[in-house]
Amino acid sequence: MELKERFLKYVGFDTQSDPGSEKFPSTDKQLVLLRYLADEMKSIGLLDVEMDRYGYVMGTIPATPGHEDRPVIGFIAHVDTSPDMNGADICPQIIEKYDGEDIRLNDKLTMTVADFPELSFYKGHTLITTDGTSLLGADDKAGVAEIMTAAEYLIQHPEIAHGKIRIGFTPDEEIGRGVDFFDVERFGAVCAYTVDGGFEGELEYENFNAAGVKIEVQGRNIHPGYAKDKMLNALQVVTEINTMLPAWERPEHTEGYEGFYHLISISGEVEKAAIEYIIRDHSREKFEAKKQFMTNVVEFLTKKYGEGVVSMTLKDQYYNMREMVEPHPEVIDKALQAMQQAEVKPIVRPIRGGTDGARLSYMGLPCPNLFTGGMNFHGKYEYCSLTTMHKAMQTILNLAVLWGK
C-alpha cells in the first residue's frame, strides 16, 4: 500500500482519546485502529505481532541474515487524536503542487499564509488539509503511516541489510497516558524513535518538564443582599489566583526554551470552584521554581482566607528527556545522518510539548522524536505535506541501514 493511501485510510478511523475517562485506553474506538494495525502488520510479514490487554501493538522486522548481532532499534507512534477538536468524519482535501497562496478550506474558512507563514516552505509540495470541520489526524497517523510503509518496504526488499527492528503503536498519548503500561523490556530495543514531530527536518530530544495543577476553593454562599462580611465567593478567589501568576509567562507570550503557566479550566459557582493549570519549562530548576510559586500562592491565600478554603493537587507528568538521551550520542548522530541522506536539513530544537518518547527515555529507552510533515496539530487548520512524509519515511529507512552496519 502506498504512503498516501495508507495515511488516508488511517485518518478515517475516529481515535479521539478522552481525558475524563478512567479506563485504559481511554476510548474503545482507539482499539479498532490498533487491531487493524496488528492485522496489517501480520499481513505484510512482520513477526512476533501482538496486541496486549492495554492495547499496545508491537511487532518485529527480522534482521537480515548475518545482521542478527546488530543493535535492536525501534520506531513508535501513537494512534489517538486530540480531544481538543472533532476527530470524526474527517474529509481530507488534497492539493497537488501547492502554489504558496492562501488555502480555502470551505466557504467560510481560509488558512492564510499571513496567519501560518510556514506554509511558504511547502510551496510545490502535495498538501493534505482538512475541510475546516475537524482536525486531520496527522498527529500522529502521519507517523503511523510512515512507519508502516517503511516496514513494508523493508520486508519487500530483503537486499537492504539491517538489524532487528521493533515497531510499536500506542494509545492515549494526547492525554499524557500513552506509555503508562508500555513494557520496555518486552519491546526489547536499545533505543527507539518516536515519529511524532512536525516541520520537515525536526529532530527533538529536549522537551518540557511538565506538571498538572488543580486548585479547589471552598466558598461560603450567602444571599447577596445580606452578604457583607459573610460571603466568600469561590469564583472570585480562583480569579484572584490567576491574577497572582505572571502574565508574561503564559503560552501566548513565550517561545523557544521559555516556560509557562497555562490556564486550562475554571469551573464552579459561589459555593465551590476550581481552577486548573499545566506548568511547563525546559529547565528543571525553573520548573521546580514554578511549582514552588504555585505552592506559595496557595499558602498566601490560606493565610488570607483561613484553613480549608484553598487546596491544591499538583502532579508531575513527565520530564525533559535530554538528560536521558545525551549519554547516548549515537542515537542523535545517526538521526542527523539519516536526515541528511534523505536530503533533509536537520533542525534541532526543543519540543514545546511532550511525547511518549520523553517518558520512555526515563523508563530506560532513549527515544528522540522525528519529524512527520504534519503541521498545526489539534485543530481545523491541521495539514501535512505528503512530500515531506516521503522524506520522513526515507529517514526511517536510512536509520534502519545505519544501525545495521
173: annotated active-site residue:
yes
Comparing CA positions, the residue from 174, 178, 102 lying closest to residue 383 is: 102
- Which of 140, 146, 152, 173 is catalytic? The answer is 173
Contact 355, 173 (CB under 8 A): yes
Host H or E run for residue 301? helix 284-305
The cell numbers describing 359, all together, are: 517518558
Comparing CA positions, the residue from 364, 323, 385, 328 lying closest to residue 126 is: 385
- Which of 80, 174, 196, 200 is catalytic? The answer is 80
Long-range contacts of 23-26 (CB under 8 A, 24+ apart): 24/54, 24/55, 24/171, 24/172, 24/177, 24/180, 24/181, 25/54, 25/55, 25/80, 25/171, 25/172, 26/80, 26/171, 26/172, 26/175, 26/177
Looking at residue 203, the DSSP 8-state letter turns out to be E
Expressed in percent and rounded to 5, the helix, strand and coil fractions of the chain are 35, 25, 40
Calpha distance 27→159 (Å, rounded):
41
Calpha distance 373→333 (Å, rounded):
21
The cell numbers describing 367, all together, are: 527515544
Beta-carbon contacts of 148 under 8 Å, excluding residues fewer than 6 positions away, are 6, 37, 40, 41, 44, 167
Looking at residue 232, the DSSP 8-state letter turns out to be B
Q: Which positions are catalytic?
A: 80, 173
